[in-house]
Amino acid sequence: MAGWTLGIIGGSGLYDLPGLEDRRVHDIDTPFGAPSGPIVTGRLGDVSLAFLPRHGAGHRISPTGLNSRANIHSLKQLGCTDLLSLSAVGSLAEDLSPGTFVTVGQYIDRTFARESSFFGEGLVAHVSMAEPTCPRLSGYAAQAGRTAGASVVEDVTYLAMEGPQFSTRAESRLYRGWGAQVIGMTGMPEAKLAREAELPYACVGMVTDYDAWREDEAGVEVTDVLAVLSANAAMARDLVAALAGALPEVREASPIDSNLDYAIITAHDARDPAMMAKLDVIAGRALRKG
């Protein structure tokens, strides 16, 4: 088996990844447009990394405005084998206080204004999202967080909302009733697209606030979020370094690496050649296999 090439998608507060050796900057174009910005590649120890700030330099792109298809495509195009998302989240649970790190096990997708699939007319696929994150990578990320000094809670449920506005109190309380534990604006469709791209995906959420559900407390303000993010940014970078140092030298195959073998439903003679060409980076392995 080959080694790891870890794609890092940096969220709010994490716009750079210092310490990379053999650092190179890539301006990538994809069939789905441009990603959020240039991608920086390099090494941390023996692990190759590719870093993409999700919201672009200076945080210029809103959650709804993100071109997640281009972001995932560009990381796959650069040879990433696995993806780690780092993002700010609000807490919907009393025991997940600001400053806590979480790994995501499940999603509830409430987004509605975003392209959520690479596939479409002429080439249809249905990937399983029953287990939307990679347990192997999530486990390594959780341990890396603890190594970095973070308090980490594993396997939480993430409610993905459209934004860019924060929740109303009624919405926040509703989501708690659904069993969601954290809330954010960027987890979807990112996780769905990573699965379609056959990239094992893990999400580490950095809790910044208690959302709007608590009685007799003010709602969320950006200033509150930024204060916690500033404190957490160094720990998030330390988490990435610890993760790179903890990954096994040999990357054993994951079932996610070949999940399109069972997902593409369009008959061979009905597949649109233009769509097949457009999806070569994402699905070429499965399409060439037959």
Residues labelled as active-site residues: 209, 211
Q: Please name the helix (run of DSSP H) or strand (run of DSSP E) that holds residue 21, with its range, or none.
A: strand 21-26
**Phi-psi map region of 146: left, alpha, beta (phi>0 left; psi -120 to 50 alpha):** alpha
- 45 with 54: CB under 8 angstroms? no
DSSP-assigned letter for residue 64 = T
Report the C-alpha gap between 85 and 96 in whole angstroms. 19
Residue of 272, 6, 247, 240 lying closest to 125 (CA atoms): 272
Report the C-alpha gap between 115 and 105 in whole angstroms. 22
